[in-house]
């Protein structure tokens, strides 16, 4: 039950009748009188007392002895309670270095970092909304992006940092590559420093215009096995794409942000994409010339599956290898469109077998029947077979049953 009408000085979290699975917290400092709790919860009958004890214990461990903690709980998971309280107590104690201990991670821990892994689909998840994170792995994207940038309101940036940190420690994202999109410039550096102990694989760097912006992050992650993916979102960034691609050995891909790019160009983004054709081509060439993946921008209309399929076919034809997703329903479509057809896989397997037989005989020429196969065609076939194995379209021992 609420016990006071006093207004808290500090606050964190989200409140309102529409909020589910989250919590709002406020704090009113005092010089004496001990620590009071003004607590309401939609799960009062089941978890009310245990949640009270949990929050008071965390406050005591952080050294908060006096004042009133206000809590409006809408069924938040323990990691959400920790994240919101961490953000709140940093304000109360004026200590940006404060970290609350996290739960033991679920599942088998963090999968290994793989620079060459598939990145067909990357699902964007707003960093300040835990409800989207809980079941993200069930949709089986190649990667999940916990976003601290555009999907987070300016006033919620600090809350989102804490939420992302605790989500990375506590949620099981399965085999998905864990990515974090940081903010620009100084704030992005602060994001990375905040997440120095969080388990993830890749840093998505927004609105990159120069190689130096990427290199500025190196000292912060010097002792970590983290990959980089710069996002090109301006005319200057496009023209500097080759230099950006060379900026760090941590870079595994270049990706485009076409909404910001068209705004920078002062043009309207159209389904045909003529206005960004040069940018796409330039960034793809910069990526491929430096041995990197080229990843396409998102398709924003989640209700238009046919439009998405057309966009994916265009992207694949240009040389893109993946696409950002703004909704789980896009993932299946992305995987289908980036997959080689059965006929393409069969032909690639035949060429691969012919290449292997020629290599075993010490021949410098590959032939399929009476037709000579050029080296670029062999290279493409090997790529298709490798992709098909990783995408579980054929078995690793496909040669056994291949005719």
Over residues 114-123, the pLDDT tens digits come to 999 999 999 9
pLDDT digits (tens, 9 = 90+) for 360-397: 777 766 777 667 777 778 787 887 888 888 788 888 88
Is 13 exposed, middle or buried, given 0-12, 13-18 or 19+ CB atoms closer than 10 A?
A: buried
> To the nearest 10°, the Cα dihedral for 49, 50, 52, 54?
170
Structure tokens at 23: 């919590």
Class assignment of domain 121-338?
alpha beta
Query: What span, in angstroms and rounded, lies between the C-alpha atoms of 106 and 103?
Result: 9
Task: Map out the domains of the chain as residue ranges.
Answer: 10-92, 121-338, 342-401
More confidently predicted of 38 and 367 = 38
Query: What span, in angstroms and rounded, lies between the C-alpha atoms of 183 and 154?
Result: 11
Give the dihedral sign, CA 112/118/124/129: negative
Q: Which of 145, 128, 150, 125 is nearest to 263 (CA)?
A: 150
Q: What is the mean pLDDT of residues 286-297?
A: 97
Query: What span, in angstroms and rounded, lies between the C-alpha atoms of 278 and 86?
Result: 46
- Global pTM value: 0.88
Lowest mean pLDDT among 13-17, 295-299, 359-363, 386-390: 359-363
Q: How confident is the model at residue 2 (pLDDT cuts 50, 70, 90)?
A: very low
């Amino acid at each position: 039950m609420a016990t006071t009408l006093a207004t808290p000085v500090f606050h964190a979290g989200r409140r309102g009748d529409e909020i589910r699975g989250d919590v709002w917290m406020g704090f009113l400092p005092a010089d004496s009188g001990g620590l009071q709790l003004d607590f309401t919860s939609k799960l009062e009958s089941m978890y009310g007392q245990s949640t009270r004890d949990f929050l008071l214990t965390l406050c005591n461990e952080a050294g908060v002895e006096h004042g009133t903690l206000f809590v409006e709980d809408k069924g938040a998971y323990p990691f959400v309670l920790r994240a919101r309280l961490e953000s709140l107590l940093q304000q109360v104690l004026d200590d940006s270095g404060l970290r609350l201990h996290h739960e033991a991670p679920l599942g088998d821990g963090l999968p290994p970092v793989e620079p060459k892994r598939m990145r067909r689909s990357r699902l964007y998840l707003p960093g300040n909304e835990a409800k989207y994170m809980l079941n993200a792995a069930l949709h089986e994207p190649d990667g999940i992006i916990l976003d601290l940038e555009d999907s987070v309101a300016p006033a919620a940036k600090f809350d989102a940092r804490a939420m992302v940190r605790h989500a990375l420690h506590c949620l099981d994202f399965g085999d998905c590559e864990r990515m974090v999109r940081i903010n620009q410039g100084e704030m992005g550096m602060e994001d990375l420093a905040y997440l120095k102990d969080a388990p993830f694989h890749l840093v998505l760097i927004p609105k990159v215009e120069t190689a130096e912006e990427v290199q500025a992050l190196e000292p912060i992650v010097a002792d970590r096995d983290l990959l980089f993916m710069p996002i090109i979102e301006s005319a200057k960034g496009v023209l500097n794409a080759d230099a950006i691609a060379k900026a760090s050995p941590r870079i595994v891909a270049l990706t485009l942000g076409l909404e910001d790019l068209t705004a920078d160009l002062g043009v309207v983004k159209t389904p045909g994409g003529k206005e960004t054709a040069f940018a796409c081509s330039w960034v793809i060439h910069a990526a491929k010339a430096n041995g990197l993946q080229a990843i396409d921008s998102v398709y924003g209309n989640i209700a238009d599956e046919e439009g998405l399929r057309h966009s994916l076919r265009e992207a694949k034809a240009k040389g893109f290898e993946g696409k950002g997703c703004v909704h789980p329903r896009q993932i299946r479509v992305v995987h289908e469109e980036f997959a080689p057809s059965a006929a393409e896989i069969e032909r690639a397997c035949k060429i691969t077998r012919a290449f292997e037989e020629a290599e075993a005989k010490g021949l410098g020429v590959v032939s399929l029947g009476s037709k000579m196969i050029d080296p670029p065609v062999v290279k493409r076939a090997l790529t298709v077979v490798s992709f098909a194995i990783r995408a579980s379209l054929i078995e690793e021992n496909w040669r056994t049953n291949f005719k």
